A and B are shown apart, each in its own frame.
Chain A
Amino acid sequence: MTNPTWQAGVYAALKAARISLIGYVPDAGHAHLINAAHADPAMQAVVLTTEEEGIALSAGAWLGGQRAALLMQSSGVGNCINMLSLPLNCRMPFFTLVTMRGEWGEFNPWQVPMGSATPGVLTQAGVHVRRADHAEDVVEMVAASAALAFDSQIPVAVLFSQRLIGAKVFVKEAAQ
């Protein structure tokens, strides 16, 4: 299961980076961040129907002088590709936290193709990719990656490995 300590640290890192708008397509691995965002009167949280909406939302926020982040699962990365031309052409920051599926104890084979392709697809599309495998690294990685995105005005993704967030349990008896 997820460790709320590092998740709380990640949320604090987003706040420290002056991110005040979060777009998300829900994922169990992002549940803590989503709940924290909705509970925080100083954070706007926007639920999306598909992940590329979050790229356009982030671009609009930047135009208006606000910093945004997109929370999504690796399966959503494939929905984003053409929209990534927006921050790249406009020399805008884009910052996303991606929970990985299909790579560590995955039960659902439908998650494997996009999970396997995620780092390569993002890199090919011009996004700088960082990957967090260990809880002790993740908060610092999020903070440094947010600084990279917003200070250098480039697209940056931090992948939260499935080992870090814990594989989704489909058959609860089997987990005991």
Chain B
Amino acid sequence: MSLPNDGTLDRRVVVATLLRDPGDLLVVTGLGAATYDAGAAGDRPTNFYLWGAMGGAAMIGLGIALAQPKRRVLVITGDGEMLMGLGSLATLAAAQAPNLAVAVLDNARFGETGSQRSHTGLGTDLAAVAAACGWQTIAEARDMDEVAALRSRLRSEALFAVLRISPEEKPRHLPPRDGAYLSDRFRRALGVVDL
């Protein structure tokens, strides 16, 4: 079923573009396809994949950003995961961490559970929600030129970005899912394991 506001971007290409040459970028991914997309782009110790804790991705990003003010943190999540943590858009705006950006892959669907239409397919505009919550810098991308432009902005600005991806489902790419392993390797990569 296509919807009037369906995006056309290929989610795997979008995430591979955003994460190309990641440098010392710290990445948090929301459960479901955002986690698979980031894993497919290349597994790294400083990728923290969520396989649950729905609604928590942006807040985990805030915690990392506050603890590591000299590092850049990028949260990549889907519209359904962001909708479950909608209040965190207000919390992040109020906290004003300058080193944190959020990229929402918006296909207007709950892709993991059978592609049921989500609120963003029923009228909710996440970019407008973020603006109303107090985010100062907001962007949207509908083509790859706009995605390419967002790559550097997401690493330098306190940016909330919505990327209009196609509802097409991709083959699952399954990165590690043991939370203790993911947590330990992330902390070792940061050199904070003894804190």
- Which of B48, B88, B182 has the most chain A CB atoms inside 10 A of its CB? B88
Collect the chain A residues with CB atoms within 8 Å of residue B38's CB.
Answer: none
Q: Is the CB of B56 within 8 A of A52?
A: yes
Question: Digit string of A52-82 for contact with B (CB within 8 Å is 1, else 0)?
Answer: 1111111111111111100000000000001
Secondary structure type dominating chain B contacts: helix
Collect the chain A residues with CB atoms within 8 Å of residue B56's CB.
Answer: 52-53, 55-56, 59, 83, 86
Question: Digit string of A149-170 for contact with B (CB within 8 Å is 1, else 0)?
Answer: 0000000000000000000000
Q: Cβ of A124 < 8 Å from any Cβ of B?
A: no
Given known pairs A53-B85, A59-B60, the reply for A82 and B53 (CB within 8 Å) is yes
Q: Cβ of A50 < 8 Å from any Cβ of B?
A: yes
Of B108-116, B121-129, B166-174, B185-193, which stretch is located at the interface? B185-193
Given known pairs A53-B59, A90-B180, the reply for A61 and B64 (CB within 8 Å) is yes
Q: Is the CB of A85 within 8 A of B183?
A: no
Q: Cβ of A35 < 8 Å from any Cβ of B?
A: no
Q: How many residues of A contact B (CB 8 A)?
A: 32
Q: Is the CB of B95 within 8 A of A46?
A: yes
Would you give the shortest CB distance from B11 to chain A, in whole angstroms?
A: 23
Q: Which chain A residue has the least Cβ–Cβ distance from B100? A: A60
Would you give the shortest CB distance from B28 to chain A, in whole angstroms?
A: 7
Q: How far does the alpha carbon of A56 sit from the alpha carbon of B68 in the complex, in Å? A: 16
Q: Is the CB of B52 within 8 A of A86?
A: yes
Given known pairs A60-B67, A68-B63, the reply for A53 and B95 (CB within 8 Å) is no
Q: Is the CB of B182 within 8 A of A90?
A: yes
Interface size class of B (residues with CB under 8 A): 35 or more
Q: How far does the alpha carbon of A147 sit from the alpha carbon of B94 in the complex, in Å? A: 30
Would you give the shortest CB distance from B163 to chain A, in whole angstroms?
A: 22
Collect the chain A residues with CB atoms within 8 Å of residue B60's CB.
Answer: 56-57, 59-60, 63, 86
Q: Cβ of B54 < 8 Å from any Cβ of A?
A: yes
Question: Digit string of B42-59 for contact with A (CB within 8 Å is 1, else 0)?
Answer: 000000101011111111
Which B33-90 residues have C-beta < 8 A from chain A? 48, 50, 52-68, 71, 85, 87-88, 90
Q: How far does the alpha carbon of A21 sit from the alpha carbon of B60 in the complex, in Å? A: 13
Q: Which chain B residue has the least Cβ–Cβ distance from A68? A: B63
Collect the chain B residues with CB atoms within 8 Å of residue A63's CB.
Answer: 48, 60, 63-64, 67, 183, 186-187, 190
B interface vs A, CB < 8 Å?
26, 28, 48, 50, 52-68, 71, 85, 87-88, 90-91, 94-95, 179-180, 182-184, 186-187, 190-192, 195
The 9 closest A-B pairs by CB, nearest first: A60-B63, A65-B192, A64-B67, A49-B87, A89-B179, A56-B56, A56-B59, A66-B67, A90-B179
